């Protein structure tokens, strides 16, 4: 049990270090030896958890799927908005999320399956749009799969632009502006009128999830 | 005169070769010696035109600004749409444009000024939106600078997604879908009703510009 907890800690330390190195240098320039130094673990420990740089990158990309989702909301459009705002907030605050986004846009990471990041994120968004459609929240002309693709692609670009121009300082403003441009041609006006799309909402959702995770999964003692 | 024409040809050959190499390998992995081989020119010829890899990359990024603009249209929203569709068409067909976009999103090209690509493209879009606003084509709540930022950022992401998922095969479908989601919350409905936003329009505009450039700037004889 104690051994297993230590293994999980080591694995997390390696992934966090790798995320930092991938974020900073890109996939191709990052080396296992950089990651060993940053994680302060032995080569044996690293290879016990990950057989290659590729597997580490894949692990970071997969890590995105493990995040707690936004809790169910009565309005599925609000839940979709909260999911997107929370992702923007995580980009500002979580190096693992930043590394995942960077890897999925890194054309030099040729041996890494980068399509997965787009398709996973696409599935999450599409499912929320399907629920919104089933509840009659969307405009009747909407093709859910197409709208999901537009949201995923445009989010990827807006975050990249925020990274280049402000190192993510302005990401919440940019992402709310994006939603203000896309949701009015997607969502019924009365639904839109009660949807909160603000940078402050992103903070509130992140706070809510922190409370929630503390409540349901208390930190293991010592 | 003949000498000057030869110099222009050499410069173009070097830039085209560099575009191919940057596109394929990314900025950091590309070497001057790869570019020399691909362009089939001497080191002296290359350094006569470009003092470094950085200057070559900057030249390719600047090259984007030299393209013929879409001719004036009565509807500025149509002109904006045509400008965006034409850029998508060029991404499919022009390696220099692809290399420019790749460089502007390449985080390893740290010594290259990548903000320029976003801000130049942002200026083009903003000026067209300002003209549309002056003609009363936009919805009254629109902030032109914000809408321009949303269009530039979302286009960058949609093209990256198209590159990852289809190597640009589906870019025209994706970009028209993006415009179908953004223009209805930006443009007055009667203007929207007469705006053509289709993949076929992109082909037509590209064809129009080819005719135009042949007509106004006849190829210099042999």
**Residue A158 to residue B150, Cβ atoms within 8 A:** yes
pTM of the model: 0.83
- Better pLDDT: B2 or A140: A140
Q: C-alpha distances in angstroms, A220 versus A14, A210, A216, A217?
A: 21, 16, 12, 8
Distance CA B175, CA A183 (A): 17
Window A:25-44, CB contacts with B under 8 Å = 25-26, 28-29
1.10.10.60, 3.40.50.10320, 2.40.128.20, 1.10.1060.10: CATH of B2-59: 1.10.10.60
Question: Is the predicted pLDDT of residue A221 greater than 70, yes or no?
Answer: no
Chain B closest CA to A123's CA: distance in Å? 15
Question: Is the predicted pLDDT of residue A217 greater than 60, yes or no?
Answer: no
Predicted confidence at residue A219, as pLDDT, reads 35
User: What is the pLDDT of chain B when averaged over all its residues?
Assistant: 88
- Better pLDDT: B31 or B64: B31
- Of the listed ranges A77-81, A104-108, A161-165, the least confidently predicted one is A104-108
Average pLDDT over residues B16-44: 91
Question: Is the predicted pLDDT of residue A1 greater than 60, yes or no?
Answer: no
Question: Is the predicted pLDDT of residue A216 greater than 60, yes or no?
Answer: no
Q: pLDDT, tens digit, for every residue of A17-45?
A: 999 998 888 888 899 999 999 999 999 99
Chain A residue closest in CA terms to B145: A177
- Better pLDDT: B164 or B135: B135
Question: Is the predicted pLDDT of residue B210 greater than 50, yes or no?
Answer: yes
Predicted confidence at residue B220, as pLDDT, reads 34
B7 touches chain A (CB under 8 A): no
Query: Which DSSP category does B187 fall into?
Result: B
CA angle B17, B21, B27 (to 5 degrees): 125
B133 touches chain A (CB under 8 A): no
Which among B28, B178, B183 has CB closest to A154?
B178
ipTM of the complex: 0.81
Which alpha helices (DSSP H) does chain A contain, by range? Answer: 2-25, 32-39, 43-49, 53-63, 76-93, 95-104, 115-134, 144-166, 171-182, 189-193, 199-216
Question: Is the predicted pLDDT of residue A102 greater than 60, yes or no?
Answer: yes
1.10.3470, 1.10.357, 3.30.300, 3.40.50: CATH of B64-216: 1.10.357
Name the CATH topology of A2-58.
Arc Repressor Mutant, subunit A (1.10.10)
Chain A closest CA to B129's CA: distance in Å? 14
What are the boundaries of each domain within chain A?
2-58, 64-216
Q: Dig out the tokens for B145 from the structure.
A: 């600078």
Predicted confidence at residue A222, as pLDDT, reads 34
A176 touches chain B (CB under 8 A): no
Predicted confidence at residue B221, as pLDDT, reads 38
Chain B closest CA to A153's CA: distance in Å? 4
A98 touches chain B (CB under 8 A): no
A168 touches chain B (CB under 8 A): no
Predicted confidence at residue A170, as pLDDT, reads 96
pLDDT band at A218; cut points 50, 70, 90:
very low
Question: Is the predicted pLDDT of residue A177 greater than 90, yes or no?
Answer: yes
Distance CA B25, CA B34 (A): 10
Predicted confidence at residue B222, as pLDDT, reads 33
Which among A150, A152, A161 has CB closest to B156?
A161
Question: Is the predicted pLDDT of residue A115 greater than 50, yes or no?
Answer: yes
């Amino acid at each position: 049990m104690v051994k297993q907890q230590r293994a999980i800690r080591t694995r997390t330390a390696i992934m966090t270090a790798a995320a930092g190195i991938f974020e900073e240098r890109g996939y191709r320039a990052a080396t296992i030896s950089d990651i060993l130094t940053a994680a302060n673990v032995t080569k044996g420990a690293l290879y016990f958890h990950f057989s290659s740089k590729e597997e580490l990158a894949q692990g970071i990309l997969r890590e995105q799927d493990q995040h707690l989702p936004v809790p169910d909301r009565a309005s599925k459009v609000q839940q979709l908005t909260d999911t997107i705002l929370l992702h923007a907030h995580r980009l500002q605050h979580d190096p693992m999320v930043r590394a995942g986004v960077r890897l999925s846009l890194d054309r030099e990471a040729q041996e890494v399956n980068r399509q997965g990041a787009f398709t996973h994120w696409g599935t999450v968004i599409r499912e929320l749009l399907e629920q919104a459609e089933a509840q009659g929240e969307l405009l009747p002309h909407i093709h859910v799969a197409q709208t999901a693709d537009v949201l995923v692609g445009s989010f990827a670009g807006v975050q990249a632009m925020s990274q280049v121009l402000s190192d993510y300082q302005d990401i919440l403003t940019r992402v709310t502006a994006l939603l203000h441009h896309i949701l009015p041609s997607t969502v019924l006006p009365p639904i839109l009128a009660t949807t909160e799309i603000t940078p402050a909402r992103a903070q509130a959702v992140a706070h809510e999830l922190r409370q929630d995770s503390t409540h349901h999964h208390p930190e293991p003692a010592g």
